[in-house]
């Protein structure tokens, strides 16, 4: 009986752990969508640029060692520069949201496990519903990533303009951010953004 109880307890703990991971995963996509919608509204209300910067440690650094993060802030001085951006002290700004992803939730990692921004694999590239059909959904940060200073070597950004539109660090017209659950390779979600209107929506 004790053996059976121990097995059942182990199953229950594992199930609870899975539920917690799914909750963290779903919460991350929902929270980002809400933060970006709030950022767009703030840009319109204050007639100021509002920036969302996505930060990833890059190749060779596992997310549990340096979790992915994003920062949303009012760029009061219009001085945002993705290359010189300092996550701890965004210049001349009001921070609206500063979120760190809870492992095993991550921005979509490369298939090699190098944890660099890369396209979803295994047939996980999807087509998004209208009016998001033109939004690229094949990369975790489709509006640009590159090599920047540590601890976040890979970065991308979206800037909401006072008219409600959105521009992207790569110069793309539309963009998306993809989340992955590193404990279940087939579980991912996408937050899409339409540049000309600034519309935001999450796709689980």
Give the side-chain half-sphere CA count within 13 A for 101: 32
In tens digits, what is the pLDDT along the chain, a chain of 204 residues? 555 544 333 333 333 334 444 566 677 888 989 999 999 999 999 999 999 999 887 666 666 677 888 999 999 887 888 888 887 776 656 899 999 888 778 776 544 444 444 444 444 445 677 788 888 776 667 766 677 777 787 888 999 999 999 999 888 888 888 777 777 656 677 888 899 999 998 876
Biggest CA pair distance of the chain: 68
Residues near 191 by beta carbon (within 8 Å), at least 6 away in sequence: 29, 32, 33, 36, 176, 177, 178, 179, 200, 201, 202, 203
Whether residue 135 contacts residue 175, with contact meaning beta carbons closer than 8 Å, is answered with yes
Whether residue 108 contacts residue 117, with contact meaning beta carbons closer than 8 Å, is answered with yes
**Predicted pLDDT of residue 51:** 94
**CA torsion angle 170 174 177 178 (round to 10):** -120
Report the C-alpha gap between 160 and 145 in whole angstroms.
18
Whether residue 51 contacts residue 96, with contact meaning beta carbons closer than 8 Å, is answered with no
Domain 2-203 has CATH 3.55.40.10: yes
Among the listed residues 179, 172, 170, the one whose alpha carbon sits nearest the alpha carbon of residue 196: 172
**Predicted pLDDT of residue 68:** 85
SS3 202: strand
Among the listed residues 155, 178, 156, 154, the one whose alpha carbon sits nearest the alpha carbon of residue 169: 156
Report the C-alpha gap between 55 and 64 in whole angstroms.
14
**In which element (H, E) is residue 97 found?**
strand 93-100
**Predicted pLDDT of residue 86:** 81
**Predicted pLDDT of residue 185:** 59
Q: Tokens standing for 83?
A: 């290359």
Q: Could you state, in order of their start, the residue ranges of all structural domains in the chain?
A: 2-203
**Predicted pLDDT of residue 186:** 60
Whether residue 96 contacts residue 76, with contact meaning beta carbons closer than 8 Å, is answered with no
SS3 190: strand
């Amino acid at each position: 009986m004790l053996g059976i109880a121990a097995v059942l307890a182990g199953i229950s703990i594992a199930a609870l752990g899975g539920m917690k991971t799914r909750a963290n995963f779903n919460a991350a996509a929902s929270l980002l969508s809400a933060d970006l919608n709030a950022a767009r509204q703030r840009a319109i209300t204050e007639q100021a640029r509002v920036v969302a910067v996505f930060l990833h440690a890059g190749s060779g650094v596992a997310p549990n060692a340096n979790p992915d993060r994003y920062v949303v802030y009012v760029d009061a001085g219009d001085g945002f520069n993705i290359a010189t951006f300092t996550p701890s002290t965004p210049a001349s700004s009001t921070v609206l949201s500063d979120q760190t992803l809870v492992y095993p939730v991550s921005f979509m990692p490369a298939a090699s496990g190098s944890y660099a921004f890369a396209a979803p694999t295994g047939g996980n590239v999807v087509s998004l519903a209208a009016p998001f059909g033109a939004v690229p959904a094949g990369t975790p940060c489709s509006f640009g990533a590159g090599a920047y200073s540590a601890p976040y070597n890979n970065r991308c950004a979206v800037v909401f303009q006072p008219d409600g539109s959105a521009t992207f660090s790569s110069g793309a017209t539309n963009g998306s951010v993809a989340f992955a659950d590193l404990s279940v390779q087939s579980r991912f979600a996408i937050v899409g953004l339409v540049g000309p209107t600034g519309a935001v929506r999450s796709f689980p």
